[in-house]
Amino acid sequence: MRPGPTALAAKVRTMAPSMTRSMQRVAEAVAGDPAGCAQLTVTGLAERTGTSEATVVRTSRLLGYPGYRDLRLALAGLAAQQESGAAPAVTADIAVDDPMPDVVAKLALDEQQTLADTAAALDVAQVEAAVAAMVSARRVDVYGVGASGLVSQDLAQKLLRIGMVAHSHADPHLAVTNAVQMQAGDVAVAITHSGRTVDVIEPLRVAFDQGATTIAITGRPDGEVAQYADHVLTTSTARESELRPAAMSSRTSQLLVVDCLFIGVAQRTYETAAPALSASYEALAHRHSPRPRGR
């Protein structure tokens, strides 16, 4: 069996005594800086070690590879392993003086964490109940302001695409005005991270009183909004820092919940959802510039 990259360092030590002086120089360079050597051609490595190409090839053979080409591949593998092992687990808060690469890494990790947390904490039964209500709803109204307003729009937009009657309301006055028209069989969704946003609670309460099925997507299942919600979907919150306020991570969490609702609804209305999706795609085709030619 050809030696894997892991065994390389050991192999070098084992074989070293039986090597000639110039071969040892090559082996040493290879064991000492796999990543660097992986970049070099035979000629390059020969030059770097002050030897000849023939010696490099001979050393490769001695280490168990058919030639330098394969040693080089193993070297690249080893380098990759080392790098991934030494992956700096950046879990600290984002600081004012963090360099951009760290910012990108930390943000991505934080959001991944938020997603994992949300998925783990999400009450599937509540999601299913919410989906069931939406599927048979005459219309769906979604309330959200500020950062949650965008999530609210996202949900409405998605539902519209699969042929449902959905609206997103950011204007609290209009939201209440609409909520008054709600009746049993309709669905109202309120999205608020704090669970205490009056502009969102108010229309939900009205819809609730009208007999509509109400759903709350909130980070505070004990918040006031829950009082008027038939189904509460809890979003989780990541650590917040000064530069990354809670509003930022709650958005990720809320979007995941919204996506789950959407997929659930789309699954249960697949017969109509699928054609509606393609139709909306087709309708937008002419809003795109022509594809590059010859394809």
**Per-residue x/- marks for a second copy, 34-63, CB under 8 A?**
----x-------------------------
Q: Which of 195, 137, 190 is nearest to 168 (CA)?
A: 190
Given 72, 193, 231, 251, the residue binding DNA (CB under 7 A)? 72
Which among DNA, a second copy, none contacts residue 129 (Cβ within 5 to 8 A by kind)?
A: none
Rounded to whole angstroms, the Cα distance separating 17 from 13 reads: 8
- What b/e sequence results for 211-242 when a residue is b if at least 16 CB atoms lie within 10 Å of its CB, and e otherwise? ebbbbbbbbbbebbbbebbbbbbbbbbbeebe
Q: Which is nearer to DNA, 59 or 218 (CB)?
A: 59
Which among DNA, a second copy, none contacts residue 108 (Cβ within 5 to 8 A by kind)?
A: a second copy
**Per-residue x/- marks for DNA, 25-44, CB under 7 A?**
----------------xxxx
Please give the residues from 122 up to 141 whose contact with a second copy meets the rule CB under 8 A: 122, 124, 127-128, 131
Decide if 56 contacts 42 (C-beta within 8 A).
Answer: yes
Given 26, 29, 57, 147, the residue binding a second copy (CB under 8 A)? 147
CB atoms within 10 A of CB 105: 16
Rounded to whole angstroms, the Cα distance separating 133 from 268 reads: 11
**Per-residue x/- marks for DNA, 261-290, CB under 7 A?**
-----------------------------x
Q: Which of 172, 121, 147, 175 is nearest to 255 (CA)?
A: 147
Q: Which of 264, 270, 256 is nearest to 278 (CA)?
A: 270
Please give the residues from 50 up to 69 whose contact with DNA meets the rule CB under 7 A: 50-55, 57-58, 60, 66-69
Q: Which of 69, 66, 62 is nearest to 24 (CA)?
A: 62
* Binding status of residue 220 toward DNA by CB under 7 A: no
Which among DNA, a second copy, none contacts residue 163 (Cβ within 5 to 8 A by kind)?
A: none
**Per-residue x/- marks for a second copy, 14-33, CB under 8 A?**
------x-------------
Angle CA 41–43–45, to nearest 5:
70
- What b/e sequence results for 107-134 when a residue is b if at least 16 CB atoms lie within 10 Å of its CB, and e otherwise? beebbebbbebbeeebeeebbebbbebb
Which among DNA, a second copy, none contacts residue 214 (Cβ within 5 to 8 A by kind)?
A: none
Please give the residues from 251 up to 270 whose contact with a second copy meets the rule CB under 8 A: 251-252, 255-256, 259-260, 263-264, 266-267, 270
Please give the residues from 193 up to 222 whose contact with a second copy meets the rule CB under 8 A: 194, 196-199, 201, 222
Q: Which of 42, 35, 104, 95 is nearest to 68 (CA)?
A: 42
Total residues binding DNA (CB under 7 A): 29
Residues of the shown chain interacting with DNA in the complex, contacts defined by CB under 7 A: 20-23, 41-44, 50-55, 57-58, 60, 66-70, 72, 290-295
